[in-house]
Structure 1
Amino acid sequence: MTSVFKPLKSVNSLILVGIMASMGLAATAQTVAPAAPATSAAPAQPAAKAGEHRHDPAKMQARMAKRAAELKAKLAITPAQEGAWSAYTAAMKPAARDTSARPDRAAMRAEFAKLTTPERIDKMRAMRTQRMAEMTAAMDKRGEATKTFYAALNADQKKIFDSLPMDHRGSHHGEHHGQPHKG
């Protein structure tokens, strides 16, 4: 008789463990209000530190100009290559963001609120597809500009260019996401 209830007891234990795990996951998924700032322990961070990871277009342009100058010096660009260099650096600059073309977030939320879940999924998929197409086109443009510039280099310059890490050849991927360049 006791052997019949032993498997039942282990099944009940598994169910209980599963319920507890589910409750734990649900509890961690809840939004938690931010803690009140400490008043006495640590001094407040300076304003510059608080916005440290924000995108600063002026700083990014300064970094890009510095890196372009360093690359130009390493490659020892000749006056005859100046046109190819200018075309290359122009193509490597990120496109200016057209904020007028971006929909207002409040308007977008209102539009999404009117849609059913499947319609929202389809809308998000279409937006993602468009964004990916734009990014692919920009990467293709930069790739072709790099190939054209590379063709204008002499053999020694090509060796130097080939030896550089990708982020020193005009790709500034990490800098777009608030990550400082290391190098």
Structure 2
Amino acid sequence: MTSMFKPLKSVNTLLLAGIMATAGLAATAQTVAPAAPAATSAPAASPKGERMGRHDPAKMQARIAKHQAELKAKLKLTPAQEGAWTTFTASMQPPVHGARPDRAAMKAEFDKLTTPQRIDKMRELRAQHMAEMNAAMDKRGEATKAFYAALSPEQQKAFDSQPMGRGGMGGKGPHGHHGQHPKG
């Protein structure tokens, strides 16, 4: 199975989600009449929605733990490398997202703005989001480099053979799946 976390695909997915959210927010902000009240029942999660980052956190943590255990076994770490491993795996954990913005408050704020101001505000929000993502990716990259430096040449080869993703930065192809698309 290829790595569950493919950085380039994740960035593209997040960019697409951000663009879609921005477009939706712009459309909402320009609506003349208020929308009808939402139905009381929560909509079921669609398969597409799950791919857009709405995964079950417990299942995601289980997949990460399984992948890390497999990688650790493959690397055959020495007791002296355990500290570097702990630091590395801690940096690979998914970020804890803060509270989502209040949509009603955001809509009220956007209702007060002109269209050019809305565009500027959306750019500002997008730039802030991208800066946070870039900082997190840089932190993971530096942690990976530090861990890699603690490995023996044989372990580095094993690490390099891993698909790209949170558990290993090696691999081949832009998404770490050796030029093939994953099945399933």
TM-score, normalised to structure 2's length? 0.62
Identity %: 68
Runs of 4+ in 1 over 6 A off after TM superposition: none
- Given residue 95 of structure 1, which amino acid in structure 2 is its aligned partner? P
> Which residue of 1 is the match for residue 91 of structure 2?
91
Deviations 1:35-71 (A, max 9, x none): xxxxxxxxxxxxxx96553420000001000000000
Q: How do 1:1-183 and structure 2 match up within 5 A?
A: 53=50, 54-99=54-99, 102-167=100-165, 169-170=167-168
Which residue does the alignment assign to 2:37? none
Output the CA distance in 2 between the equivalents of 1:125 and 1:167: 28
Structure 2 gap ranges (5+): 1-43, 170-174, 176-181
- Partner in structure 1 of residue 21 of structure 2: none
Residues 136 and 93 of structure 1, relative CA distance in 2, 3 Å threshold: same
Deviation by residue 1:102-129 (Cα, 9 ceiling, x = unmatched): 3201110111111100000000000000
CA-atom RMSD in angstroms: 2.3
Q: Is the 8 A contact 2:84 2:147 kept in 1?
A: yes
| Amino acid aligned to 2:130 | M
The whole-number CA distance in structure 1 between the counterparts of 2:72 and 2:97 is 27
Q: Secondary structure of the equivalent of 1:103?
A: coil
Tell me, in whole angstroms, the C-alpha distance in 2 between the residues paired with 1:150 and 1:50: 38
1:145 Cα deviation after fit: 0.1
Structure with more helix by fraction: 1
Does structure 1 retain, via aligned residues, the 8 Å contact 2:92–2:167?
no
Counterpart CA distance in 2 for 1:170 and 1:57 is: 21
- Report how far residue 169 of structure 1 moved: 2.6
